[in-house]
Amino acid sequence: MGFQPVKFYQTGTFTVGNRLLTPDERSLQSDEGRSNSINSGHRACQGCGEALGARYAIDAAVAGSGGQLIAANATGCLEVFSTPYPESSWQLPWIHSLFGNTAAVATGIAAAMKVKGKTDIRVVAQGGDGGTTDIGFGCLSGMFERNDDVLYICYDNQGYMNTGVQRSSATPPAARTATTMTVGSAPGNVFGQGKNVPEIAMAHGIPYVATATVADLRDLEYKVRKAMTLHGARYIHIFVPCPLGWGTASNDTIRMARLAKESGTFPVFEAEYGEVTGVLKIRHQLPVEDYLRPQKRFAHLFGEHPHTETIARLQLMADRNIRKYGLLNVNNATSDDAIFDARPPLLNPLPEGEEVKERPREFHITGREN
């Protein structure tokens, strides 16, 4: 099937609203000519953060590769909802092999491209947090260590959602899952466990590591585009809320991602060769409680007898992130200028001598209080 331009039906969405910006400032998603790599009609849940994140990321990667991209996909929600054969949503060459071997499969594809002299064809691997931080971790670390020419994207929804919401090593403390039940003296997932894979990726000294959320589209696109300009092993960890697993409203997916970032729960940063080179500052700091409260997986922390101590521990974790990554601008945390200074450059920098007349306006979703 030949390329079909994307039709925007929901003209009021923020994505499409980007078209009010000058062309240089628009997101790729607002471009009718984007590849729409994961086509509509797939079977993801309403409000699926992973479906959104995958489309944002893979469209950007396709653009960054000049349309020369091959994807390897781990078993998981993304694989299942996108491909009950012959209903594949994928508009690019795509392979699913197993749950735990995606990084290695991608290595094989990259090796094949290299040996055939097709170095213009780039390779992306993708999986959920289970396929990345748990079962696929050995192959991921091997791919990193060899610095294979693969961009690995993890869509982190903090659990095994495909099998019915079980705990992964990316599940946060206190969260309810099917295997961290809200019973006993310490309900939900335990504290002091879990794996920070972006930092582990950095420890491999690979050229590029970044985190992103589906709430910051242009930041996400910028990071994928940047990763595509580099060679060697690259890793992007995208925070993708899961309405089903988290017990959040399906129209709150972007908001939940925004709250995770604004509360410091999920630090958004980028790093090159193991060193942090940029962070997305918190615009309006919010207590972690604001992020926890709308989620049914944390409902046991609230109610008649709130677990204030547990909430405080989660706040401490966010505070540590804020300190560690410098997520707050010390001088003037609410100044728009300060925030934009910390933002990554725009996707398509203007020719020298020209200046952006007006700063792109951010949407203050966090202003929507309960």
Query: Of 27 and 101, which CB lies nearer to another protein in the complex structure?
Result: 101
Question: Residue 147 CB, nearest distance to another protein (Å)?
Answer: 12
Enumerate residues 53-82 that contact another protein by CB under 8 A. 67-70, 72-73, 79-80
Q: Do residues 150 and 110 make contact, with C-beta atoms less than 8 angstroms apart?
A: yes
Question: Residue 199 CB, nearest distance to another protein (Å)?
Answer: 20
Interaction of residue 285 with another protein, rule CB under 8 A: no
In a 10 Å sphere around its CB, with 0-12 CB exposed, 13-18 middle and 19+ buried, how is residue 191 labelled? middle
Enumerate residues 183-242 that contact another protein by CB under 8 A. none
Query: Of 43 and 343, which CB lies nearer to another protein in the complex structure?
Result: 43
> How many whole angstroms separate alpha carbon 241 and alpha carbon 46?
12
Question: Residue 65 CB, nearest distance to another protein (Å)?
Answer: 8
Interaction of residue 41 with another protein, rule CB under 8 A: no
> How many whole angstroms separate alpha carbon 223 and alpha carbon 227?
6
Interaction of residue 128 with another protein, rule CB under 8 A: no
Interaction of residue 88 with another protein, rule CB under 8 A: yes
Name which of 326, 323, 264, 268 is nearest 289 in CA terms: 264
Angle between helical axes of 253-262 and 49-64 (0-180°, round to 10): 80
Interaction of residue 147 with another protein, rule CB under 8 A: no
Q: What end-to-end distance do the CA atoms of the chain give, in Å? A: 46
Tokens read off for 7: 């039709």
Q: Do residues 242 and 129 make contact, with C-beta atoms less than 8 angstroms apart?
A: no
Which listed residue (116, 345, 357, 358) binds another protein by CB under 8 A?
116
> How many whole angstroms separate alpha carbon 88 and alpha carbon 93?
11
Question: Residue 139 CB, nearest distance to another protein (Å)?
Answer: 5
Interaction of residue 96 with another protein, rule CB under 8 A: yes
Interaction of residue 252 with another protein, rule CB under 8 A: no
Query: In degrees rounded to 5, what are phi and psi of residue 275?
Result: -115, 135
Note the residues at the interface with another protein (CB under 8 A): 67-70, 72-73, 79-80, 83-86, 88, 90-98, 100-101, 104-117, 121, 138-139, 141-142, 145-146, 148
